[in-house]
Chain A
């Protein structure tokens, strides 16, 4: 079991839908991350939050909108996605920005 909880585990959405992915950790970590993983590929960094402020955006399209309401929660708001955005979205956290990453089980997104 992982201490980083992601919901939902599976999500199917149409290209006009608006949905959100949620991530929660209670380890007191102050850095949180969103990664995207396509099948048979490594995780690719999307966003990094440090102390609840967005510190890295890896040129992610604006149809993905991250939010960090507090130090324990991280959301990824999805709007007008494309079928090629279908992937496993992984949340991770670390004690600081120099520590190892702790990953959630991911949210598997399918865009129809």
Chain B
């Protein structure tokens, strides 16, 4: 089945550390990929998206992700995390061949220690 997978379930970092969260997808054709963040008690918010073009995508709050087709990956990065980045991060994807289903990965809980 077409899906996305996240390997890091719980990540603990100190403030100012660099972050990389892994995401792999299994769609065979053209894909749309997303990273969403869910802060405690808040709604899911879009961090960034990839549809086509430049494989290095910059999002809000200093996050970026790189689409590497040869590795079926779309990892999320941030050079220096803050305590306020503590949240659940979801990678999501869609087969862009007209199909409407956006599928979410299992999520990574990020805990940033001051």
Contact = CB atoms under 8 A, between A and B. Distances in A.
Given A100-B34, A100-B46, A31 B105 contact: no
A45 B102 contact: yes
Contact of A42 (B42, B51, B107): B107
A42 B90 contact: yes
A89 interface: no
Interface in A29-47: 31, 33, 40-45
Interface string B82-110: 00000000101010101011111111000
Given A42-B90, A98-B32, A100-B34, A90 B44 contact: yes
Contacts of A101: 34, 44, 46, 92, 102
Nearest to A98: B96
Nearest to B107: A42
Given A56-B100, A56-B101, A97-B100, A105 B42 contact: yes
Indicate the member of A33, A42, A56 with the most B CB atoms within 10 Å. Answer: A42
A66 interface: no
Interface string A72-112: 00000000000000000010100001101111111000000
B105 A42 contact: yes
B24 to A, nearest CB: 15
Interface residues of A, number: 26
A45 B43 contact: no
A20 B74 CA distance: 37
A2 B32 contact: no
A105 B41 CA distance: 8
Interface of B: 32, 34, 36, 42-46, 49, 51, 90, 92, 94, 96, 98, 100-107
28 contacts: A2-B45, A4-B43, A31-B100, A40-B107, A42-B104, A42-B105, A42-B107, A43-B44, A43-B90, A43-B104, A45-B101, A45-B103, A48-B101, A56-B100, A90-B43, A92-B44, A97-B98, A98-B94, A98-B96, A98-B98, A100-B34, A100-B49, A101-B92, A102-B46, A103-B36, A103-B43, A103-B44, A103-B45
